Every structure is written in C-alpha cells, then in structure tokens.
Structure 1
C-alpha cells in the first residue's frame, strides 16, 4: 500500500517509459513507477505502448496507489506535449518529478561504427537523447513556475565504458551532458537534475534482445553478464535502478544536482 509518509508523498511524478519490453524480469521504468507510487507519488505512466503503460498503472491501482496511463512516442513532440499536459490536468497542475526512462540499442538496429546504418543511428539518437531533451523542454516551464522540481534521467554505464555500439553510447553520453546543462542552468529556479548510469542489469530490454544472437540461450546471456559484475557476481535489477531514482527524486537529495550516478555493482572500476 502507498505510504502516506513516503518519500514522495504529495508529489506528482511523470514517468516516461513506464511500460516495458515483455520478458521474465521487471524493467527500470515499471519498477520506478511502482516504487514511486508506493512512496506516495501520484504517477502518470507514459509509454509508446499504451497497453504496457496501463499494465503498470493497473498494478499501482491494485495496490491502492494513484496513477493514470498516457500514450506518448518520444520521437513525436506533439505526443510529449500532450503527455505533459495530461499530467498537469490529472493531478492539480504540478509536475514535481520527471523521470526520463527511454532507450533503445540493439532493437533499434544499433551497430559498431563501421557497420552502422544512418537511419538506425538517427532513430536511436531520436529516442535516447532527443526525446529526453524535448520532454525537458516542455516540463521545465512548469517546474520553473513552481520554483521546484527534480529530473532524473536514465543514462547508461555504456557512456563511459567499452560498450561497442555507437548510437547507444553516443546518445547516453549526450544524456549526461544534457543533465549537467540542466543542473547548472535551472538551479536558480530550484530545479535539480541528475542521471543514473545503470551497468549490466537483468531487465527485459537488456536480456531479451540478446537471446538467440549467435545461438545464445537466456541462461548463456545471463551467465555471461553476471560474470562481469564484481559485487556478488550478479547483475542488478530494475529495482536497483528504481531505488536510486527514488533517492534522487526525493527531498533526501535536496542538495544534490548534476550527479551522474553509476548503479553497476562496481563494473566501472574494472580496468584492463
């Protein structure tokens, strides 16, 4: 049940990418929506797949939370604008938290730089970076008028490590730069901006797109990824990302802005 004294009690949160790819685990966006609602937030769950967003909302409502689903394709500015307006009209004219959780790599046709396709590269950039920028464009005026707000964007450890696919790595490095830009330019309005850089996670997006590649089974994919994690030899989950997002979105992080937080079990510490 939602906690009336939760870390986000009384706050309105817009979560972009609150549905998820079908799979056997929970995605970052759905886990974050569920946790935010449990901590007292009123949640607007946006996703290009309305059924996936509604499935997230149904779980929140079943547990006594407050949420609505909206369809939004982050490559379409009109969709983003409508989702922001829907959030404002649904819950009293505020947006206290914006959680940017959109991203695509292999499923979008990403490849190494010598094999990259121009259309696939552009699509990955449009989803992973441009979509976040445009969402912030429409949310920031609302937060400025309030004199407060927290933006949490999901980047990736791929931005700073040896991830081989060019569009994803480039776009997530852009998310980091965007976060730092917003943090410094919007601080005077009481708005904070931080990013999370997940490492290897056991989420549907990460696992399902790799099953079957070069004959790999799901067990093969999981074992290979687990072997690269120093802390406990096991990937993190969507809940690990959600808990970090909760901290950054809450007043516990009231004096934290411009942070690029690895959530990776120590993966970024491995050298050589």
Structure 2
C-alpha cells in the first residue's frame, strides 16, 4: 500500500492525459505522475488538450481507488489555463501541487525549421509553464505548495536528436524554475524541475522514431544509456512525487536529472 505522502493535498497535472500512441505497456509521464500522486492520497485534477486522454487517466485513477477529475485546456492559451485552474480550485477547495508535464519535440535543424515551428515549440514547452505558474501561484501562496516542472536532459547537453527548439525551450524551463524558486522561497512555495533523460514514453515512437521499428528504437536508446536501458515514466513520476511531497520541504530551485547518468557522461 502506498504511504500516502500527499494525503489531504490537491494536485493539478498539466499534460496528464493517458497517451495510447506507443507500444503496449508504455505510458506517458503525465498520466503516470497523476496516478502516482493519486495513489499517495492526493485529489488530482488531470488537464489535457485531449479530453479522451484525460478521461483515460481519470478512469485508471478511479480503478486504483483514487480521486480525480478531468478538465480540458490548451495550455498555450492563457484564458483556458486560468479557467481550468479556477475550476480545479473550485472542485478541490485548495491547490497544493502543480505539475507541468506538457512537452513536444520538433525534429529539424535551424536550417529546416520555420519561424512558426520555432514559436510553436517554445509555446508548448516554455509558455505553458509560464502560464501555469501565472495562474496557480496565487493559490500556492495561500498555504504554501510545490511546483514541479518536467524538463529534459536536452536542456543541458546534446542528446543525439536535432531539435534545437525543444532544447532551447527546456533550457528556458530550467531558468524559469530557478527564478521562481528564489523569488518565492520565503513565501512557502517551492519550485523544482525534473530533467528527464532517455525515457520510454509514447512520444518517442510518435515524434522521434521515424521509420525505425519499435525494437530498433528501444535497442538504440537502451545502448545510448549509461545503464544499458531506458528509464520509464514511473522513474520520472517517483522523482516528481518526492519533489511534490513534504519530504522535500527544504528543496527548491533544483534541476534533478532522472537520466541514468546521461547528463554527466562526456560522450
């Protein structure tokens, strides 16, 4: 049985929908984190642009015996973000944990991407965190709370994929995390980021695999990891749980790699 580290707390997970676009048994970080928070006692609000994906996560949480509600919003639209945050607070009566998980890659060097591609990548990966912070901080400040931003090892090193917009956006998430952490440290709000490495999620097969088979993608990524295997969405969710819980009460402004050592390897 889970140790209920988030008992009595309310959490909103942006990008928490269960994506079914990958191989069987492969889950997205957002959905896995939402389920993990719920197993540890949190009321969870699952926000996703895809209503069916959000509903799938809520159904999984309910089947686990947890409590959750699904809301729909485009996290690049400020009006929609403020609306769902208001609905989340109305539903739960409070807000203690904010998880920003929305992210998407766009392959191509700067000689291949259009300015529209660049702007869209920044909007999805960086603007979404800014808008979520803008909407949720007033509620976190009421009683203190934790914000966890999902970044990437690509924000601090080359990972083998040509996606400069994604890398730049996630680097922006890192510094936004640090800035918010210091600005609100003396007001009871903690802000940290998880830098996900080679994680086995549906995004890999939808956006990075190209024409490669599932078996080839897995073999290549496993071989590239210092541990000899990719991580899982649960590995990231467990780190997020620590940062969301009171166990990390004196931890803020941290960029925590969950990457099997990839970020410290020279090549």
TM-score in terms of structure 1 length: 0.94
Query: Is the contact between residue 36 and residue 241 of structure 2 (CA under 8 Å) also seen in structure 1?
Result: yes
1:226 maps to: 222
Q: Say which of 121, 125, 128 aligns to 2:125.
A: 128
Q: Secondary structure at the match of 1:131?
A: helix
1:247 counterpart = 2:242: yes
Structure 2, unpaired ranges of 5+:
none
Query: Is the contact between residue 210 and residue 216 of structure 1 (CA under 8 Å) also seen in structure 2?
Result: no
Q: CA deviation at 1:270?
A: 1.5
Query: Is the contact between residue 97 and residue 249 of structure 1 (CA under 8 Å) also seen in structure 2?
Result: yes
1:270 counterpart = 2:262: no
1:95 maps to: 95
Query: Is the contact between residue 31 and residue 238 of structure 1 (CA under 8 Å) also seen in structure 2?
Result: yes
Aligned residue pairs total 262
Structure 1, unpaired ranges of 5+:
none
Render the CA deviation track for 1:129-186: whole Å, top value 9, x for unaligned. Answer: 011101100100111122x010000000000111431110000000000000010001
Render the CA deviation track for 1:229-271: whole Å, top value 9, x for unaligned. Answer: 112x000010000000000000110000000000001111211
2:53 maps to: 52
Q: Distance in 2 between matches of 1:30 and 1:43?
A: 11
Q: Distance in 2 between matches of 1:143 and 1:225?
A: 38
What does 1:180-191 align with in structure 2 at a 5 Å threshold?
180-191=178-189
TM-score in terms of structure 2 length: 0.95
Q: Secondary structure at the match of 1:155?
A: strand
Render the CA deviation track for 1:53-110: whole Å, top value 9, x for unaligned. Answer: 0100011111211100000111111110111011101111x1100000010113xxx4
1:105 maps to: 105
Query: Is the contact between residue 20 and residue 204 of structure 1 (CA under 8 Å) also seen in structure 2?
Result: no
What does 1:60-71 align with in structure 2 at a 5 Å threshold?
60-71=61-72
Q: Distance in 2 between matches of 1:199 and 1:84?
A: 29
Q: CA deviation at 1:111?
A: 1.7
Q: Secondary structure at the match of 1:225?
A: helix
Farther off after superposition, 57-66 or 190-199 = 57-66
CA-based RMSD = 1.2
Q: CA deviation at 1:207?
A: 2.5
Q: Give every structure 1 segment of 4 or more consecutive aligned residues whose post-TM-superposition deviation is greater than 6 Å.
A: none
Query: Is the contact between residue 75 and residue 124 of structure 2 (CA under 8 Å) also seen in structure 1?
Result: yes
